[in-house]
Every structure is written in structure tokens, then in C-alpha cells.
Chains A and B, each alone.
Chain A
Amino acid sequence: DQQVKQNSPSLSVQEGRISILNCDYTNSMFDYFLWYKKYPAEGPTFLISISSIKDKNEDGRFTVFLNKSAKHLSLHIVPSQPGDSAVYFCAAIRSGAGSYQLTFGKGTKLSVIP
């Protein structure tokens, strides 16, 4: 049972435009959400996170939005750059469980076209 879902396996965006990556979750016990970025032959690297008590968090070109009622979050990248081309994983944590294990979606491959 996939508790974190990224329904778009891939996304292509023109350089300079906005990239929007979406993520849905089913477990209402999740209270912390993260986005990780992965290049080939490397491990995932942390990008940005958001607590369930917020609905938006910004860090430079990256903004994460959380809609708790819809159990939906999205990552906006503005403007998109060719170096942003990577696989993006949405992840969730249930902090009350005593462990900070990450539950990942299957990832969305973003291609930014110059």
C-alpha cells in the first residue's frame, strides 16, 4: 500500500518556466514532509521540508505547499534551470512513531529543457 504517491513519473519544463511537482499521501499521521533530489549515481539529497502546522515554506527558488485537508503537497521551482534536472522524491515522516524513517514516493523525473 503506497502511502506517499507521486503520480507523474516524469515532467518536462522549459528553462525559466515554473516546475510543479505533486505528491499525495494517505496516512493522516504524517506530520512532516520533505523533498529530496537525486542525481544518477548519487544518493538523495535534502531539498526542502514543511511541517504539518504550516501551509507554505520557501527557500530561494523552491517553495513547498501543503494542503492538509486534501493530503496533498507540491514543490514549485521558479525559475527552472537545466541543473534542476533530476529525480525528485516526496517523503513523509510520522514523528510520533519514535523513529524518523522516511516514507518515500516513487519519484518524478524532472527534465528542464534549455
Chain B
Amino acid sequence: DSGVTQTPKHLITATGQRVTLRCSPRSGDLSVYWYQQSLDQGLQFLIQYYNGEERAKGNILERFSAQQFPDLHSELNLSSLELGDSALYFCASSVGLAGSSYNEQFFGPGTRLTVL
């Protein structure tokens, strides 16, 4: 158990809909990262928040947005869903920008999104 929790574990929805994925980081971790794992693209970085502020953006679509709340949990919002958005979405947390001595990010178990 990494200490990072993600809800829900599974989500099935239809095209055009909007969903929210939730992540609670490890206690004391200030950085939250979101990654998408799809069959053809592998694990790709989407966005990072540090202590409530957006820190870096990766391959995140404009239809997707995220935020980190004062209690440090984070939500990833996916809207106007398309079939191609079906993927595993992972959240990871680390102590700070540099993480531990190994820049370690601790990953949650993921949310599997299926868009029908």
C-alpha cells in the first residue's frame, strides 16, 4: 500500500459525459502528479500540482482539467469524453518538488475509465 488513494476504482460512462477522478496523496506529500496509461501510448504525464498550485503540464487535453485543494487532495476532471479517453488514470504524490532522495513518486492504484 503506497498510501495514495484514488476513487473510484472503476468508472464506466458514455461519450460526451463528464467525470471527476479523485486522489488523496500520502500524508505530508505536497506534490500530486496525474498520469494516463493507455494501450497505445503507455504511461504519460498529464499535470502536476504543488501545494495547491499548478506546477507543470504535460500531454493534457484542453477538455481535461485538474485542481489541488487546501487539504492537498486533487481532482482530475475529464469532459466531453471520447472513446479514446478510455484508460487507466494514475495519481502519484511526492514530498515536494524534489520528492525523496530518489525523487520518488508514490503511485495510487489507479482509476480505470471506460467510455462507451
A-to-B contact residues, CB < 8 Å: 32, 34, 36, 41-46, 49, 89, 93, 95, 97-107
Are B110 and A43 in touch, CB under 8 angstroms? Answer: yes
State A105–B37 Cα separation when bound (angstroms).
11
Are A100 and B98 in touch, CB under 8 angstroms? Answer: yes
Are B33 and A101 in touch, CB under 8 angstroms? Answer: yes
State A45–B3 Cα separation when bound (angstroms).
12
Are A100 and B102 in touch, CB under 8 angstroms? Answer: no
Min CB distance B32 to A, Å, is 12
Look across to chain A and name the residue whose beta carbon is closest to the beta carbon of B90. Answer: A43
Q: List 11 A-B contacts (CB under 8 A).
A: A36-B107, A41-B109, A42-B109, A43-B107, A43-B109, A43-B110, A95-B98, A97-B56, A100-B98, A101-B33, A101-B45
The yes or no answer to B8 lying at the interface (CB within 8 A) is no
What residues of B have a CB within 8 angstroms of the CB of A43 in the complex? 2, 4, 90, 92, 107-110
The yes or no answer to B42 lying at the interface (CB within 8 A) is yes
Are B103 and A49 in touch, CB under 8 angstroms? Answer: yes
- Known A-B contacts A34-B102, A42-B109, A44-B43; A99 and B90 likewise in contact (beta carbons under 8 Å): no
